[in-house]
Structure 1
Amino acid sequence: MFVRVPVPKSGKNRIHVDLMSSDAAELDRLVALGAKRLDDFDEDGEKWTTLADLEGNEFDLLVKKAT
């Protein structure tokens, strides 16, 4: 859930959340809810996307196929 607040982000995140989903459509859903796509990464066989919420707090989404 994304909730707008009147106070702007004033510094680095205190917490950085990493989310995992087995559904590739989750990235599109988060963007539709207001998240901003910042960058895509591919390191050590893992791919993830860094996003920011409406306040600029960054978080990652890793999409993994269910095993």
Structure 2
Amino acid sequence: MTASLHHIVIDTHDLPALARFWAAVLKWRILSEREREVVIGPDAAAPVGICFMPAPETKSVKNRLHLDLTTQPSEGEAEIERILALGARRVEIGQTGEESWTVLADPEGNEFCVVRPKATLIG
């Protein structure tokens, strides 16, 4: 049997709030909501979702793992502005300004990137 990815798990202080933020960013929905677990995904049959679990401590260092999001070629800056309006913020983690991505953080400080679509990186 081959292992396959089931959930990406994000530790959080406010499970419902962070789950709703990410559901809005990805235009996904809440699939299950329990006291100690909230799962989001595009639909119940999707092979991968994001699971939010409680964490007692606050985030204090740069993520060791982060998500890279992409957009349609014509929507890059508009999509970043939409995500910022949902509660994300821009963060500096040592970028030079020449990157093909923008670094943001969710409301609890978890860094993620919005990268240029592959079509704009080729050629």
TM range (shorter): 0.5 to 0.7
| Partner residue in 2 for 1:62 | 115
Count of residues paired in the alignment = 63
Percent identity reads: 49
Tell me by how many angstroms 1:29 deviates: 0.6
Higher strand share: 1
Tell me: higher relative CO, structure 1 or 2? Use CA pairs within 8 A at least 6 residues apart. 1
| Partner residue in 1 for 2:29 | none
Letter in 1 for 2:82: R
Structure 1: gaps (5+ residues):
none
1:16 maps onto 2:69 in alignment:
no
1:42 maps onto 2:57 in alignment:
no
Structure 2: gaps (5+ residues):
1-16, 20-53
Report the CA distance shift for 1:29/1:7 in structure 2 as closer, same or farther (over 3 A): farther
Higher helix share: 2
Pairwise CA RMSD: 2.9
Q: Note the alpha carbon deviations across 1:12-53, whole angstroms, 9 max, x for none.
A: 32421111111221100110001001246424xxx2100011
Highest CA radius of gyration, 1 or 2? 2
Equivalent residue of 2:98, what SS?
Answer: strand
Return the TM-score normalized by structure 2. Answer: 0.41
1:32 maps onto 2:85 in alignment:
yes
Equivalent residue of 2:18, what SS?
Answer: coil
CA distance in 2, matches of 1:37, 1:54: 11
Tell me by how many angstroms 1:10 deviates: 3.4
